[in-house]
């Protein structure tokens, strides 16, 4: 008899966790497992990539309201007559903006919403929450299964999370999966009593799929730019360091290099980033391409891939650039050494505009370095077999 699995997550937006989830759903053996997927909101660029054999469950209105943008959320709560939740939901972004981390604010809003959220009635062999914060709390409290697995995609030490609150929910799960050895060390140091629950399953990357998709479109075919192209994939959010990239671009252009830097993604800092581009008069040099479900032709056509992040768990974008054998420049956030060997598979630089700019100039000035990096990355083979580690946690 097939085992029944449930995945729960917020939505399937442009974040790396959503892409990672789709990669797992594509790898699962559906002869052995029946898979349900619960989304708080059925939206996002990756909705169209859900495999046909996955059963998408109906949404729960109150969770949809918690996930929506604040204005839509408040309207939805009023229509549902959840008047007592109006102010806790309103405080969520206010707390985050003025005094709390996003993680701490999420903990507080879940404590207010929890008693009003109905459970998922079906029982499963395994339930997996595929995001941090309150989606994990929902899985822990509101689902029924033989095995409960929470997935961590970030360096939790950077989130200012309330350890005592988090520990309460970790006590309700069986396994806590994270995506790199460095992230595992972070969780073990923060939650030593839960050390035995913490496992590593890397984000699944299929080089053959990425390379195939990279040849589906001829990127940049409609312009006559003859300089060097830089590409970055990532949300327009503080942790991704796009603001640092703009300042680095300005330094490289001022130094006389003919470059264009393209960013594929969207996010909450878009307006701020657009203003910064105008401030430095980089409208023709730093280009926001928006969301694209197939960014690989742009990465393949680039001369350099740059990841200017302030923090990452384990970057899927870097793995994708590795699959395309691109010269990679990446900032030295805490977990980067799980992915890049300096001047072997990429160039690691300080998290600053000066550091990134110097890295770009070094790569542009040393073609022998780019050839060495690309040659080393040509042996990159991916890791589809990581799904077997999930099967082991589920129990066969």
Q: What is the pLDDT of residue 101?
A: 65
Q: What is the pLDDT of residue 197?
A: 95
Q: What is the pLDDT of residue 56?
A: 97
Q: What is the pLDDT of residue 304?
A: 96
pLDDT in tens, 113-125: 888 999 999 999 9
Backbone dihedral angles phi then psi of residue 282, each to the nearest 5 degrees: -110, 20
pLDDT in tens, 93-145: 776 666 656 677 778 788 888 889 999 999 999 999 998 888 999 999 999 99
Q: What is the pLDDT of residue 73?
A: 87
**Proportion of the chain above pLDDT 90, given as a percent:** 57
pLDDT in tens, 204-224: 888 888 888 888 888 887 778
Q: What is the pLDDT of residue 98?
A: 64
Distances (CA, A) of 41 to 26, 69, 73, 89: 21, 11, 12, 16
pLDDT in tens, 51-87: 999 999 999 999 898 888 888 888 888 888 888 888 8
Taking the chain, what is the end-to-end CA distance rounded to the nearest angstrom?
12
Q: What is the pLDDT of residue 240?
A: 94
Q: pLDDT confidence of 37, banded at 50, 70, 90?
A: very high
DSSP-derived 3-state class of residue 144: strand
> Once rounded to an integer, what is the mean pLDDT over residues 316-327?
92
C-beta of residue 160 within 8 angstroms of C-beta of residue 104: yes
User: At residue 91, does pLDDT exceed 90?
Assistant: no
Q: pLDDT confidence of 151, banded at 50, 70, 90?
A: very high
HSE-CB for 250 with a 13 A CA cutoff: 17
User: At residue 353, does pLDDT exceed 90?
Assistant: yes
User: At residue 313, does pLDDT exceed 60?
Assistant: yes
Instruction: Write down the mean pLDDT value for the chain.
Output: 90
pLDDT in tens, 221-279: 777 888 999 999 998 999 999 999 999 999 999 999 999 999 999 888 999 999 999 99
What class is the 207-377 domain?
alpha beta
Domain coordinates in residue numbering, the chain: 3-201, 207-377
Residues whose CB falls within 8 Å of the CB of residue 3, separated by 6 or more in sequence, listed in order: 32, 33, 34, 125, 126, 394, 395, 396
Q: What is the pLDDT of residue 95?
A: 64
pLDDT in tens, 161-178: 788 888 999 999 999 999
Q: Tell me whether the CATH fold assigned to 3-201 matches the one assigned to 207-377.
A: yes
Residue corresponding to tokens 């299929």: 206
Q: Into which CATH architecture does domain 3-201 fall?
A: 3-Layer(aba) Sandwich (3.40)
């Amino acid at each position: 008899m097939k085992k029944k699995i449930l995945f729960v997550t917020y939505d399937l937006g442009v974040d790396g966790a959503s892409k990672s989830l789709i990669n797992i759903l594509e790898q699962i053996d559906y002869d052995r497992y029946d898979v349900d997927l619960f989304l708080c909101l059925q939206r996002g660029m990756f909705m169209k990539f859900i495999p046909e054999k996955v059963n998408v469950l109906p949404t729960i209105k109150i969770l949809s309201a918690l996930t929506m943008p604040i204005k839509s959320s408040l309207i939805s709560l009023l229509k549902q007559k959840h008047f007592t939740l109006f102010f806790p939901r309103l405080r969520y972004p206010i707390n985050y903006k003025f005094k709390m981390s996003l993680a701490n604010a999420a903990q507080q809003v879940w404590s207010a919403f929890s008693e009003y959220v109905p459970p998922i009635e079906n029982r499963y062999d395994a339930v997996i929450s595929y995001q941090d914060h309150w989606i994990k709390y929902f899985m822990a409290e509101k689902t029924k299964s033989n095995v409960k697995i929470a997935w961590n995609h970030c360096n939790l030490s950077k989130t200012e999370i309330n350890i005592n609150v988090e520990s309460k929910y970790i006590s309700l799960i069986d396994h806590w999966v994270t995506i790199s050895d460095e992230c595992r060390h972070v969780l073990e140091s923060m939650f030593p009593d839960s050390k035995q629950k913490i496992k590593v399953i890397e984000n699944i990357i299929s080089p053959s799929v990425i390379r195939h998709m990279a040849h589906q479109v001829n990127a940049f075919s409609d312009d006559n730019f003859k300089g060097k192209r830089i590409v970055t994939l990532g949300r327009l959010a503080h942790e991704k360091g796009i603001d640092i990239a703009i300042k680095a671009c300005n330094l490289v252009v001022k130094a006389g290099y003919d470059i264009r830097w393209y960013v594929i993604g969207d996010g909450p800092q878009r307006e701020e980033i657009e203003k910064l581009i105008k401030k430095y008069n980089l409208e023709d040099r730093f280009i926001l391409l928006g969301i694209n479900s197939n960014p690989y032709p742009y990465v393949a056509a680039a001369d350099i891939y740059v990841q200017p992040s302030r923090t990452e768990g384990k970057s899927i974008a870097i793995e994708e650039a590795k699959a395309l054998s691109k010269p990679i420049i990446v900032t030295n956030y805490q977990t980067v050494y799980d992915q890049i060997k300096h001047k072997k598979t990429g160039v690691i630089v300080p998290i600053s505009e000066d550091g990134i700019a110097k890295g770009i100039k070094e790569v542009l000035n040393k073609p022998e370095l780019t050839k060495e990096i690309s040659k080393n990355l040509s042996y990159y083979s991916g890791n589809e077999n990581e799904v077997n580690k999930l099967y082991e946690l589920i129990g066969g």
